[in-house]
Each structure stands twice: as C-alpha cells, then as structure tokens.
Chain A
C-alpha cells in the first residue's frame, strides 16, 4: 500500500504513481454504500451496493473500474462525487474528507471533481442551449466573470472538444450522441478539475464514435494534470484507457492491478472468467473458443453468499471460501487480490 499521509514523503514508496505525488489525489477507505429496499408494506432491508471498498487514485492516473451490470460501478462513481451518502467509510480528495464538509463548502469543492455521464443526451437539460450548459458551472466556481466572459470560455471549451462555435446556440436534441457527449465533456472540464469520473461515457455510442470520444479524453488527459476514474463494462475500453484496473463484483473489489499485467495474467478467478468471456479478436482463435466460461448469473445483492461473494460461480471454490470474506491482499509486486487461493495458480 502507498502511504496516505500528506506530510513527509516516504522515499521509495511511491513507485506506482508519478514521482512528485506525495499524497494520492483520491483515497477511498472502507467505503460502504447501502440502499434501503422495500420488501413489504412495512419492512425494508439494506442492499449493500458497495462493501468496504478501499483504493487510491494517484494524480494523473487513470483507474479503470470493470464489472458486470449491478456490481456497484455507478454507485462507486456517485459515492466518490458525494451524490449518494455512504453508510460508512471515507472519501478523501487531496487529503480532505469530503463527507465532513458543510453543503455550501462541498459545492465549491466540486470544482476539482467532475463527471461525464453514461447517457449523453439525458445528461443535458433539454431546455438549455449548449453554450449555457457548458457555461453554467462557471456561475458557481467563477462568479466574478461576466456572462460574456463565461460564454467566451464555454466557446473555447467547446472548440477544445471539437465542436464548432455555432453549436453554442443549439439545443441538445439537435446533436448526435457523440456530439452530446462532447458537450458533456466540455461542461465537466470547464471547471479545470483534477479528477474526472467517467461513468460508462462511451457505452451508449456507436463503435466509431466511441473511438473518437476515447481519443478526445486521451488528448485532454495528455494536455493537463487530469486523473480519471473510468467506469466501463467493456474490457477492451478499460484496457485502452487505464493505467490500473479495479475489478468489482457484487460491491466488492476482487482485484486491482496495472492494466497490462491484469490483462496478461489475471489472478482472481473472477477476473480470469471475465476476461475469458470476451470473444477473442481473431477468427482463428474464436473457432476453438467456448463462450460460457463464467457460469450462471451474479446472485442478488440483497442476499449475498457468505464468505467470498464469488464462490457460487467460482470453479475453484473450496468449503473454506464460505467461512470468511477474503481480504484484499497486497502481493509482493504491489498487485491486490481478494482470493484465499490465488497463489495456487
């Protein structure tokens, strides 16, 4: 684990991140998010969307978050941004505990973390022009600017995301999905954030447009000091954008590893199954490929299995897997795995 303290930099311990980063940009500790689900007229029970999620995000790093539908990916994005209140645990941004901030201060701190949404059209107010949508955050974070200055900055931002200036006076329904997502990115970046949370930003787009948006995000990242939490269910997208990848299953972290190592040699049986479920890219390899490597569906998060949440679908499950929740172990090479049997190969 990397050191957390904001004080003296422990020498030689920051190998994973950039050399000048003392503290991680984002530090999530034992984050648990529970929703109350009504089970009857008067009864309800908690649904743990996230359980004890702990990870760090360094400055300028891109952390991919992958997993199946309903595993808590979007909840993670919303909890990091403070849009849902955690049941327990902490989210620290630049060593500041966000949950302790009063609401007014929290709103101004939002400047350093912004979000790009899954459905580009739904994330734009249908009754506002693109220019007003992009300029709006400046009203909160740069109130000293005149409306004309705000619009000028919005136009500049739209241009950086590859939209013509004429776009500023058009309404969301006049744009394609890819253009709408550019507007969403422009709105997020106009505050000059340090952290950009992308919640499946390309899953609603055509493949060719996906590539354009991913390239745009890569360009924007290369130009500044932007870190990204990139949520996706598409493994090839995760591989393309991420420095490290976090694998989530039923609200728990299964594995965290640098992207290249994770895709080359997954350690957790779930990661192995997930990677094997993706069809191979060449027809020759696909001929011998059998799809259902990962049997069954994820169990209901309302009644997760005891011990390891993955054991019911795991081909290597042993009786002791039901006894305790496997801790997220850090191996000698810095990779983290939550499986009691990963060393056995």
Chain B
C-alpha cells in the first residue's frame, strides 16, 4: 500500500524534517555545527594519540613557549607547572562540553516538566509553583553552588548537576508561558474531548509543540553554563586539579598574560570558538524552528 519511497516522502514533509532543511540553508549555523563537531571529536580522540598526558610534568619547560620539533609535540606551549598546554586544553574542552551538555539536559528536563505542569493546570498550583521559582531567582546562585560544594564535597558530577539545577528556573518560566497559550488551543481541547489524561495531554500534545522555544533556549543556555563553570573555576570552586576546564586554564592564563601570552591565548581562543559556534547554532535553530516563520 505505502512503499518505502512513499514513507520516505511522508517523513520528509514532517515538521522536524522541514526545520532541518531550513537549518541546512543557514551557512553560518552549518559551519558552526561542523566546527563544533570537529572540536568535540578532537577533544575525545586526540589525547590518547599524544605521547604525554595532561598531567605529565616537563621540569625543564615550565612556562615554555610553543614548540613543535623532533623532541616533542607541544603546539600550545607549557603551563606554569610545565605541563603540556595542548593536552590540557583538550581536556579542558572536553570537561567544559560535558558540563554544558549534562547541565543543559538537567535544566531542560526539570524546567520543561515543571513549567508544563504549572502552565497546564494553572490556578493556585501555578501560582505556588511560580512563586517558588521567583524565590529561587532572588537567591544568589553562586552562594548556592558554593554551599553545595562545601556540604557534599567537590565532585565534578555534583558541579554539573548544581549548575543545571540553577539554570532550570528560566526554562520553567519560558515553558510555562508557552504552555499557557498552548492550553487554549483547540487541539488541546480536542485531546480532552478524546478522553486523554492530563499526563498524556502534557506529554503528547503540549511538550512536542514546545520543542521550538525549548531547543532554541537550550542552545543559548549552553554558552551561559560554560561561562558559569568558568567563573566558578576561577573562584576555585570548579573542576579540581590536576583535571581542568577551559575556565580554569583561562584563569591561570590571566595571571601570566603580559609575559607568557600563549597560556591565555590558546584556551581563550578555543572557548571563544566554542561559544561563537553555540550562539550561531542557537540562531540557526531559532530561525529554523520559529513558528512565526513557518507560514
């Protein structure tokens, strides 16, 4: 009845496929996605190929300049403790990307569930839930993370979760606002007439239609999370030695900026590339998914 080709054509007309096609038309976003993919692959695949690890110390090369020769492959030079900055930058990139993905996943999961429930049920429940969000907004979040670190110890996973649990509040607000308007749409009313339970309506009818704003906001949250982690690392509450993140590397670099500029320049350049890519991808997603452009 429906051949494989017909199925394929049908799928090609789906809302996701159309958004993907529009995304592919934006050159800047596609280039940014490719560069980011390249950086991520490099962060995962290159370190095992290097003859040294991120914590091997070269005593004769403390704060050494970049050097590529038969003696060794050190294109980014050495840090203040004589460790190879290339290996450390790759590690920092991996840690920062991990934090970005995990914390964003936490923020999206909690924020979407919370916002959709508050928005769909409305009334007193909505009031109570959103006032709680307001209270969280008013608290200084850095203090929050610092307290978490002091109480539970300095686990990296805890840092990821902690940042994610701070970022969900904005997501919850955005999702709630969207849900309030979706809830009045006729197809949600039709789902109620069809006897669906509130949970089924929220997860089958509301959340798929939230995908646009959620994906866009998540893409724009990632740079914010990387910056937050950098800031926490700068204060000494982030990733702990000998592991490192881009933020930690940069804070070390700023101390030696005038004499050994490469200690700042290389990690800073990588962070700049990552953030720029994220923002360009976020812009591309917004253009591809924005319902106002759909007409």
Contact = CB atoms under 8 A, between A and B. Distances in A.
12 contacts: A108-B195, A110-B195, A115-B189, A119-B186, A123-B187, A125-B187, A125-B208, A126-B15, A127-B15, A136-B194, A166-B2, A173-B294
Contact of A187 (B6, B194, B208, B211): B194
Contacts, number: 78
B182 to A, nearest CB: 10
B195 A124 contact: no
Give the size category of A's interface with B.
Answer: 35 or more
B185 A107 contact: no
Nearest to B211: A127
A107 B197 contact: yes
A231 to B, nearest CB: 14
A115 B13 contact: no
B187 A124 contact: yes
B186 A81 contact: no
Interface of B: 1-2, 6-7, 10, 13-15, 185-187, 189-197, 204-205, 208-209, 211, 294
B195 A122 contact: no
B15 A83 contact: no
Interface string A143-184: 000000000000000000000011001110110000000001
A169 B186 contact: no
A118 B208 CA distance: 23
A81 B191 CA distance: 12
Which of B7, B189, B190, B211: most chain A Cβ within 10 A?
B190
Contacts of B6: 166, 169
A169 B195 contact: no
Contact of A122 (B13, B185, B193, B197): B185
A111 B2 CA distance: 31
B40 to A, nearest CB: 29
A173 B15 CA distance: 9
A171 B1 contact: no
A289 B14 CA distance: 52
A81 B15 contact: no
A171 B10 CA distance: 9
A8 to B, nearest CB: 33
Specify which of B6, B194, B208, B211 lies most central, judged by the most chain A CB atoms within 10 Å of its CB. Answer: B194
Given A165-B1, A169-B10, A83 B189 contact: yes
Nearest to B189: A83
A191 B193 CA distance: 11
Interface string A77-111: 01001010000000000000000000010011011
B126 to A, nearest CB: 16
Nearest to B295: A173
Contacts of B294: 173
B190 A123 contact: yes
B186 A171 contact: no
Given A122-B185, A126-B209, A166-B6, A171 B14 contact: yes
A169 B196 CA distance: 22
Contacts of B208: 125, 127-128
Given A127-B208, A169-B2, A171-B13, A140 B195 contact: yes
A197 B172 CA distance: 36
Name the residue in B13, B186, B193 with the highest tally of chain A Cβ atoms < 10 Å from its Cβ: B193
